[in-house]
Amino acid sequence: MSGTQGVAGGGDFRPRVEKLLTDILGLMGFPARLDLQDATDGSLSVALHFESGAPPGVEPGKRSQVLDSLQFLLNKMLHRPGVERRWVMLGAGAHPEPRPRREAAAQQQAPASAQAATVEQVAASTPAQKPARAAAPAPAAQPPQRNARGGQPAQQAAKPAQAPAPAKGAEADERSLQVEEDPAFREAVRKLAEKSASLGRFYAFAAMKTEDRARVLKAVEGVGGVKVAAEGEGRNRRVVFTPAKPAPMPKRSLLPDDDEDDVDA
């Protein structure tokens, strides 16, 4: 095993880029001639010269979502964990213009930030000019007038007390609603309640209208071994069947997790 094998910037880097790009473009149905060139920023620049026309949305010499997605996919496939990274830049019909790295942009912003800080320090150290005349003292605030009994000020005493705000999200009690009874619906709900009590299983009705929830709560009256109540708020409100003696769920075998280590790097 050579010392450069598995390293993104090693001797096998260009062949891997050519192989991956050729395979991907072939599967896309847009084969292209590849022109590889070392960029000034250390990345590998690749010009794609499509043989039978460019993919939809791709124009020569311009960036596009197709090229950005292909470039992102290619770099993800090349840069494995624990290896040296060397980025690949793609261009349609020509080599792409080098993009500034985050580190370079941070270095460019650092001098500007330091210059701004120096200006602030100079401004802070410069003594302020004294005014020609001293400002007149502000008039003393007069104490608030109190009422005849010596209690709180009149303005505060006259202010009415605010009533407490009603609680948000309060839902009406469906049991208090008057709804028309449906015999078939009532029979089906009672059977489900009896099944929940006998099997010890939890059931729930979701996405129901307020009137239907009221019919469910009225239909289960008198069924023993189960508690039925409406829970939640808004669209998440549902009718839950809770058995008095819940039964444990049977254990199920779990599928083995996919092993990602068997992928050949």
CA 52 to chain centre: 40
Return the pLDDT at 230.
Answer: 92
Q: Which amino acid, residue 235?
A: R
Which runs of consecutive H residues, i.e. helices, occur in the chain?
Answer: 13-28, 65-78, 102-125, 154-158, 183-199, 210-219
Whole-Å CA distances, 137 to 131, 143, 265:
14, 18, 80
138 and 144 in contact (C-beta within 8 Å)?
Answer: no
Return the pLDDT at 97.
Answer: 82
219: tokens are 């239909």
Return the pLDDT at 166.
Answer: 45
Q: Return the sign of the alpha-carbon dihedral for residues 253, 254, 255, 260.
A: negative
Return the pLDDT at 188.
Answer: 93
208 and 251 in contact (C-beta within 8 Å)?
Answer: no
Return the pLDDT at 10.
Answer: 65
260: tokens are 């990602």
Return the pLDDT at 85.
Answer: 81
Domain residue ranges in the chain: 12-98, 174-243
- The residues near 194 (Cβ < 8 Å, ≥ 6 apart) are 223, 226
Return the pLDDT at 76.
Answer: 85
Return the pLDDT at 3.
Answer: 42
Task: Assign domain 174-243 one CATH number from 3.20.20.70, 3.40.50.720, 3.40.50.970, 3.30.1370.50.
Answer: 3.30.1370.50
Q: What is the mean pLDDT of each run of 10 residues along the chain (265 residues)?
A: 47 87 91 90 89 88 87 85 82 82 54 55 54 56 57 52 52 82 91 94 87 91 92 88 88 52 46
Question: What 3-state DSSP class applies to 162?
Answer: coil
Q: Which amino acid, residue 144?
A: P
